[in-house]
Amino acid sequence: MRHHDHLTSAQQNSLLREIGRALVKAAPRNWEELRLECDALFDFSTTEATAVLDDGSTEQMSTPVEVAVKLGKLRAGMYTPGKGTWYRAVCRVTRPGRFKAHYSYDEEPSFPIPAYDHDFLRDSRAYPRDSASTPDWLRRRLAAALEAEAVAKANDK
């Protein structure tokens, strides 16, 4: 899906239902709540799925591949020109199957291995934002990436 293939609210909800069903299918039998956290950029993402069990304990889950793929489609389809798209999504499924999702368009994503400034530049080129929708942390990352790009071009001459 290209970043300009906007998803309607109905299409977004359909993808969220599919994500929820896939999580429930992968969950332990005695789950009470499922939590899914996703941090994403244009060409990579990380997900963490956790089940809260009926005794109050938690269990890490493997995120089904189809969930990661659908999250990528959701992120791309939620792009709004000038506003960009989200960097972090937190989804919760509670019994009997209620689903809630929260998206952060301004919070810097957190990856186990830190992303390079250039990764943010690639994301910004795929999902451009206007100045008013660009948080300060992103401005700094983009400026550093553009400076490194300019130095690399100058050294190639």
Cα–Cα distance between 147 and 104 in angstroms, integer? 27
Q: Which residue has the higher pLDDT, 17 or 154?
A: 17
- Is the distance from CB of 58 to CB of 52 less than 8 angstroms? yes
Give the domain CATH number at 88: 3.30.500.20
Rounded Cα distance between 28 and 52, Å, is: 9
Q: Within a domain: residue 86? A: yes
Whether the pLDDT of residue 109 is over 80: the answer is yes
The answer as to whether 133 is a domain residue is yes
Burial of 129 (0-12, 13-18, 19+ CB in 10 A): buried
pLDDT the model gives residue 131: 97
Position 117 scores a pLDDT of 97
pLDDT on residue 157: 72
Residue 36 has pLDDT above 50, yes or no: yes
> Into how many domains does the chain fold?
1
Indicate whether 2 pLDDT > 50.
no
The DSSP line for 79-138 is: -BTBTB--SEEEEEEETTTEEEEEEESSSPP--SSPPPHHHHHHHHHHS-B-GGG--HHH
> Is 111 within the bounds of a domain?
yes
pTM for this structure?
0.91
- Domain-located, residue 126: yes
How much is the pLDDT for 4?
62
Q: What is the pLDDT of residue 1?
A: 40
Q: What domain range includes position 22?
A: 9-156
Query: In this structure, is residue 93 part of a structural domain?
Result: yes
> Which long-range contacts link 46-51 to residues 24+ away (Cβ below 8 Å)?
46/111, 46/112, 47/71, 49/23, 51/27
C-alpha span between 50 and 72 (Å, rounded): 19
Q: What is the length of the chain? A: 157
- The answer to whether position 1 is within a domain reads no
Give the pair of three-digit tokens for residue 130: 């206007």
User: Could you read off the pLDDT of 52-84 as tens digits, one per residue?
Assistant: 999 999 999 999 999 999 999 999 999 999 999
Q: Would 2 be classed as within a structural domain?
A: no
Rounded to 5°, the CA angle 62-13-73 comes to 60
Averaged pLDDT for residues 102-121: 97
Q: Is the pLDDT of residue 10 over 60?
A: yes
Residue 136 pLDDT class (50, 70, 90 cuts): very high
